[in-house]
């Protein structure tokens, strides 16, 4: 146990000298020294578990930083100010530090499995989780500390130096996902990695790298693998994000019966106005975006609007089962929209690219888009992503990766603020080896 605890004391909060003891607690507990392990199931469970506390911070960053949601009470409106304010201690402690520390906890667990387990499926799941953790870290922070060792040398501070995001993509994320695709099964099991999930993530990774040739390949594979496993578009957006949905490729279980390492308001509460710091969280710009498609509806109105925001456009109604709502990482409609984007970037006809959206729009009670009148296919696809995936943590990251932050936010914003502040506790604990992002 000493070895495992020493490892987590280093990278689970990356040498957090100011951390409380409960920062290092693990649920489920890890089991004794890695050298004596023959069954890594509990370690794998821990790796999955530590993905959970990153869900709410990611959702908040994705929608409140963008033009979908607003905070009401200071200092939280700093998410809408593109200056140093977002690096304030209280915001860092509530959002960025739990996100950062728990993903590194997950990484340390999977490093143990990858190095020491002989179970091919466990290793494939571990590689999926490590790739997902590092993808989230580089998406949110840019360059980050890289550790692939279950027993890092604590006396060597150079291991904390932030590594270029490009290197992490090329040397960790892509190889891990390639291995995961080869090793994972095609069955989609609730709360567990699958081949379709790994294909979806790798396709998404390539869209972030603007490599749309590879993106198209893996997204097409993800759709094919998912549909072969029985996944279909649900009848409505409530069903599409509900536990047990036939549309979900991979989700993180969130339940009142599961101990939670995240101590603040969950993502459902923020979006529903369940916290006074965001009592009226819906951004009027999102309401206007829904209103803009009103004339595209069939008889009966826009179903997606009523299932996303309330009638006055002040609070989200997307999560009817607030305390039992899983965080959806990948669902079929998300992957289809990314696939349509890749087709368009790769020179497909407007009819072929926009035709991918027909099932999603029909579900929402919207008419199919007419390719003969759409002048900007890429914009049409991004507009569809906004409405389909509102309050699911995608919007800001979509704006950044497509280079449309200024256009959609209606102001000129320094690229420094495309990413978020490194938790200052990490910088202090590393004696400055870990550096802060410009602008914070």
Condensed to tens digits (0 to 9), the pLDDT of residues 29-47 reads 443 344 455 689 999 999 9
Host H or E run for residue 61: helix 55-64
Integer Cα distance of 152 and 139 in angstroms:
24
Is 90 exceeded by the pLDDT of residue 112? yes
Going by C-alpha positions, the residue among 2, 29, 25 that lies closest to residue 12 is: 25
185-250+282-315+330-384 and 1-183+254-280+316-325+391-421 share a CATH fold: yes
DSSP 84-132: GGGG-HHHIIIIIHHHHHHHHHHHHHHHHHHHH---HHHHHHHHHHHHH
Q: What is the pLDDT of residue 69?
A: 98
CB 334 within 8 A of CB 248: no
- Mean pLDDT for the stretch of residues 189-204: 98
Please give the share of the chain, as a percent, with pLDDT higher than 70: 90
Does residue 88 or residue 20 have the better pLDDT?
88
The pLDDT confidence band at residue 374, using thresholds 50, 70 and 90, is very high
Q: How many residues would you count in the chain?
A: 440
Ordered by start, the domain boundaries in the chain are 1-183+254-280+316-325+391-421, 185-250+282-315+330-384
Residues 91 and 73: beta-carbon distance below 8 Å: no
- Top-level class of domain 1-183+254-280+316-325+391-421: mainly alpha
Q: Which residues pair with 76 in a beta bridge?
A: none
Contacts of 256 (CB under 8 A, 6+ apart): 323, 324
Radius of gyration in angstroms for the set of CA atoms belonging to the chain, rounded to a whole number: 21
Number of Cβ atoms within 10 Å of the Cβ of 323: 12
Mean pLDDT of 88-116: 96
| Poorest-pLDDT segment among 174-183, 250-259, 344-353, 415-424 | 250-259
SS3 of residue 299 by DSSP: coil
Burial-class residue 257 by CB neighbours within 10 Å (0-12, 13-18, 19+).
exposed
- Rounded distance between C-alpha atoms, residue 181 and residue 332, angstroms: 17
Residue 285 has pLDDT above 90, yes or no: yes
**pLDDT band for position 229 (50/70/90)?**
very high
- DSSP secondary structure letters along 318-330: S-SSGGGPPEEEE
Could you give the 3-state DSSP secondary structure of residue 251? strand
Closest CA to 149 of 100, 109, 98: 109
- Residues 365/230, Cβ–Cβ less than 8 Å: no
| Contact by Cβ (8 Å): 235, 209 | no
Max mean pLDDT range (24-33, 77-86, 287-296): 77-86
Which of 435, 397, 40, 387 lies closest to 240, judged by CA?
387
Pick the range with the lowest mean pLDDT from 5-9, 224-228, 371-375: 5-9
pLDDT-based confidence at residue 299 (cuts at 50, 70, 90): low
pTM for the model stands at: 0.92
| pLDDT tier at 102, thresholds 50, 70, 90 | very high
Closest CA to 261 of 75, 425, 103: 103
Asked if pLDDT for residue 171 goes beyond 60, the answer is: yes
> Which of 368, 118, 328 has the alpha carbon at shortest distance from 243?
328
**Average pLDDT across the chain, whole number:** 90
C-alpha to C-alpha distance for 271 and 266, rounded to whole angstroms: 9
Alpha helical stretches, state H, 147-194: 165-168, 174-183
Query: Taking 60 as the threshold, does the pLDDT of residue 318 lie above it?
Result: yes
Q: Is 158 exposed, middle or buried, given 0-12, 13-18 or 19+ CB atoms closer than 10 A?
A: exposed
For residue 169, the model assigns a pLDDT of: 98
The domain over range 185-250+282-315+330-384 is classified in CATH as 3.20.20.70: no
Give the pLDDT score at 247.
97
Q: If you average pLDDT over residues 49-53, what whole number do you get? A: 96
Task: Return the pLDDT at 114.
Answer: 98
Query: Exposure of 202 by Cβ count < 10 A (0-12 exposed, 13-18 middle, 19+ buried)?
Result: buried
Residue among 398, 246, 414, 268 nearest 332 (CA): 246
């Amino acid at each position: 146990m000493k070895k495992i605890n020493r490892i987590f004391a280093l990278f689970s909060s990356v040498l957090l000298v100011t951390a409380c003891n409960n920062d290092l607690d693990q649920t489920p507990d890890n089991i004794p020294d890695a050298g004596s392990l023959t069954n890594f199931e509990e370690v794998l469970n821990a790796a999955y578990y530590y993905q959970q506390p990153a869900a709410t911070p990611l959702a908040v960053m994705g929608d409140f930083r963008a033009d979908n949601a607003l905070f009401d009470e200071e200092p939280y409106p700093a998410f809408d100010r593109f200056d140093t304010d977002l690096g304030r201690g209280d915001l860092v402690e509530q959002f960025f530090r739990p996100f950062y520390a728990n993903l590194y906890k997950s990484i340390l667990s999977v490093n143990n499995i990858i190095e020491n387990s002989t179970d091919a499926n466990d290793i494939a799941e571990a590689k999926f989780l490590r790739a997902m953790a590092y993808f989230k870290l580089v998406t949110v922070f840019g360059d980050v500390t890289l550790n692939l060792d279950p027993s890092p040398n604590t006396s060597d501070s150079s291991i904390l130096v932030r590594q270029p995001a490009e290197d992490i993509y090329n040397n960790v994320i892509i190889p891990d996902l390639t291995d995961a695709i080869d090793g994972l099964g095609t069955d989609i099991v609730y709360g567990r990695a699958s081949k379709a999930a790994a294909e979806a993530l790798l396709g998404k990774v390539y869209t972030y790298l603007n490599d749309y040739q590879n993106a198209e390949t893996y997204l097409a594979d993800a759709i094919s693998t998912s549909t072969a496993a029985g996944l279909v578009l649900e009848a409505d957006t409530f069903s599409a994000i509900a536990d047990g949905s036939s549309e979900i490729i991979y989700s993180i279980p969130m339940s009142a019966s599961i101990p939670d390492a995240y101590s603040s308001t969950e993502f459902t509460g923020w979006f529903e106005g369940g916290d006074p710091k965001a009592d009226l969280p819906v951004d009027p710009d999102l309401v206007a975006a829904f209103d803009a498609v009103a004339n595209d509806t069939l008889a009966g109105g826009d179903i997606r609007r009523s299932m996303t925001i309330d009638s006055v456009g002040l609070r989200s109604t997307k999560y009817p089962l607030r305390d039992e709502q899983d965080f959806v990482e990948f669902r079929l409609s998300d992957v289809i929209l990314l696939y349509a984007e890749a087709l368009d970037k790769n020179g497909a006809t407007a009819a072929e690219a926009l035709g991918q959206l027909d099932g999603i729009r029909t579900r929402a009670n919207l008419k199919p888009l007419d390719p003969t009148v759409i002048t900007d296919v890429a914009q049409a696809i991004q507009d569809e992503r906004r409405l389909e995936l509102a309050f699911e943590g995608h919007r800001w990251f979509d704006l950044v990766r497509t280079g449309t932050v200024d256009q959609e936010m209606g102001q000129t914003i320094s690229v420094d603020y495309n990413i978020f502040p490194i938790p200052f506790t990490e910088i202090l604990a590393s004696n400055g080896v870990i550096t802060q992002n410009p602008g914070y």
